[in-house]
Amino acid sequence: MAEKIVRNTEKKAAEPAKKAAEPAKKPAAARKPQTVITPNKPTGGSTVGLRIGAVLLWIVAIVCEVFAIMAITKNFVIRFTHNGDTNMWIAFIGFVVLDMAACITAAQLWKKANHIKPMSEKRGKFLFYLWNELGVIMACICFIPLIVLLLKSDKLDKKTKTIAAIIAAVALLITGAASADYHPISAEQKDEAESQINGDVYWTQFGHKYHLKYNGDPDAEQVAVDCPYIRESSSVYKGSVTEAIESGRTAICSYCAAHAADWGINLNLAELNVEGGTASENKDQVPVVNTTAAPTVTGGN
């Protein structure tokens, strides 16, 4: 269940006189309507189900990989067809697509589990990377043996080999790209965000960061009440920082981080995940964003 609040745009249209009388607020009145969505999902909890689901789907993907090899070498497809080549290709492509679907779905479950229960940074960078990018590693396992076997096969003619290997390579690239976690978070960073940020945070459908400041009032002086990076979005999601992280928004927006103090929110940025990476790596960048974007900020709250 999700609560949706749609801004009343008719109200704005009914007050043209007010707008004309207040030219200073014209940009605010011209603002696009935004929908505020409050996801009502339980957060935290066990990640065992997600991880078991991911592993099972990776096994399904490997089975599909084996079937794809059997299809292209006509190991079994030939037995139920009188049109071998056409059905060979249908079966091969079908199993490659199933392989992709299982692999990509598994990686999404795995990433979700990692955002709910992230790994500690203390286990070392290499293990942290392996754990978070297991989706990419599994994508390689689910496609590279297929590609190697295709290229090495002496049963297949050159044309069949080449076409099948290209199909498998494209599938590998798509699966790898969809399986990578581009914004991983560590247990320490999640704990810090949860302990430092108590109120609601906001995020957009396609953004990967969460924001601190959103009022959404079309008649208000925008810069004082909203982070500019969510002002143009048609939908704004609202929830706790835990919900934001579990939805994949693992880093705080650098603009919001730089302006938190102006908004009366005290943050220890050195400990927070600002724009991906560790906050300590990024903290020097924050004042840069501040100086370029700050002139429009007049404070607030």
With vertex at residue 271, the alpha carbon angle to CA 268 and CA 277, rounded to the nearest 5 degrees, is 130
Q: HSE-up of 180 (CA within 13 Å, CB side)?
A: 7
Amino acid at 282: N
Under the binding rule (CB under 5 A), the answer on residue 211 touching Zn ion is yes
Which is it for the CA torsion 223, 226, 228, 234, positive or negative?
Answer: negative
Q: Which is nearer to Zn ion, 91 or 253 (CB)?
A: 253
Q: Are 61 and 102 in contact (CB under 8 A)?
A: yes
Under the binding rule (CB under 5 A), the answer on residue 253 touching Zn ion is yes
Which is it for the CA torsion 220, 222, 223, 227, positive or negative?
Answer: positive
Contact window for Zn ion (CB under 5 A) among 57-65, 72-80, 203-211, 279-287 = 203-211
Contact window for Zn ion (CB under 5 A) among 15-23, 27-35, 184-192, 228-236 = 228-236
Q: Which is nearer to Zn ion, 207 or 218 (CB)?
A: 207
Q: Are 114 and 246 in contact (CB under 8 A)?
A: no
In whole angstroms, the minimum distance from the beta carbon of 167 to Zn ion comes to 42
By CB under 5 A, the count of residues binding Zn ion is 6
> In 3D, which of 227, 237, 218 has the Cα closest to residue 265?
227
Contact window for Zn ion (CB under 5 A) among 129-137, 177-185, 252-260, 262-270 = 252-260
Q: Which is nearer to Zn ion, 102 or 253 (CB)?
A: 253
Rounded Cα distance between 141 and 92, Å, is 17
Instruction: Rule CB under 5 A: choose which of 129, 131, 229, 263 binds Zn ion.
Output: 229
Contact window for Zn ion (CB under 5 A) among 44-52, 222-230, 259-267, 274-282 = 222-230
Q: Locate tokens 């002086």: which residue?
A: 221
Q: Which is nearer to Zn ion, 161 or 249 (CB)?
A: 249
Rounded Cα distance between 19 and 217, Å, is 14
Q: Which is nearer to Zn ion, 104 or 251 (CB)?
A: 251
Interface ranges with Zn ion (CB under 5 A)? 211, 227, 229, 253, 255-256
